[in-house]
Amino acid sequence: MPKHLLKLLDYTRAEITEILDLADKLKHEQKSGIPHDFPKGKTLAMVFDKNSTRTRVSFEVGIYQLGGHGIFLPSTSSQMGRGEPIADTARTLARYCDCVMIRTFGHEIVEEFAHWSDVPVINGLTDRYHPCQVLADLMTIREHKGKLAGLKLCYIGDGNNMANSLIVGGLKCGMDVSVACPEGYGPHQEALDFAATVTDAKFTLVTDPREAAAGADVIITDVWASMGHEEEAEKRQIAFKGYQINDELMALTAPGCMVQHCLPAKKGQEITEAVFEAHAQEIFDEAENRLHAQKAAMVLLMK
């Protein structure tokens, strides 16, 4: 198991499966009132440069359920927010805490932080990757479908951190992955370079959502304008017209196709309210599984 959880590119299929298996076990224990077998008193520092609901609550509740304590550090109230070098903050927090989770903008920030940190660092989200969310997605798909390998995963929308992590995570778990993005909004080259090396699963990148969705077992989307791109919202509404999960698109998917959304959703844009509500159970299972997947990652990283 790698020392840090920065991107799924660093993990093998076996290591991802190990996280998912442990997440299933921890979820069962939590639902059954069985105490987790994990050392008490571990401390998680949670550094936030971006607003959050699910990341903040799931990590803080998760470390509490493991018998530890979470410390919330928004950039507005930490020295990093006032310009302290990343190296100095990393070396300081590593003296106090057993693990650090960072939700920020540039992926290079978490990479530099991890370089200087003596304790595990978890990427809670960067502009390039969102590994914790995709672990929860994979966990949810496996819960509902009973497997991952051999399924077709389709992503419709912006080639953002979700697209990048889904490409990597899906292919590493043996899923065929199809992605549809408008011209100029494709996934990061690093994710595409990895996809080109995969021989046991199929990857396709197209501009036609209908082509990507055909025969999909699970279809996933995200908002058209992620945090940091709000000023492009009007421009993106034009560029992403037609990149919506709706009844017409769902009719092209495989019978029993799941829908996933990392939330928050802008219903009426990337997904219709009718499709969202028809698949709300799956979507909120996915949101809940952030808690269990992240607990599993913390246990394995801090053992």
Query: 49, 127, 222, 285: which one is catalytic?
Result: 222
For residue 5, give the DSSP letter.
B
279 as an active site residue: the answer is no
The kind and range of the H/E element at 249 are: helix 247-250
Query: Could you tell me which residues come within 8 angstroms of residue 31 by beta carbon, excluding any fewer than 6 positions away?
Result: none
Query: 130, 188, 261, 292: which one is catalytic?
Result: 130
Residue 158 φ then ψ, to 5°: -70, 135
Bridge partners, residue 205, by sequence: 179
103 as an active site residue: the answer is yes
| In contact, 185 and 159? CB cutoff 8 Å | yes
Query: 54, 188, 261, 290: which one is catalytic?
Result: 290
290 as an active site residue: the answer is yes
133 as an active site residue: the answer is yes
d(CA 61, CA 186): 35
Residue 251 φ then ψ, to 5°: -65, -20
Query: 107, 132, 133, 176: which one is catalytic?
Result: 133
Query: 137, 262, 269, 294: which one is catalytic?
Result: 262
188 as an active site residue: the answer is no
Q: Which two tokens stand for residue 214?
A: 């055909």
| In contact, 236 and 225? CB cutoff 8 Å | yes
Query: 4, 54, 103, 236: which one is catalytic?
Result: 103
Q: Give the catalytic positions in this structure.
A: 103, 130, 133, 222, 262, 290
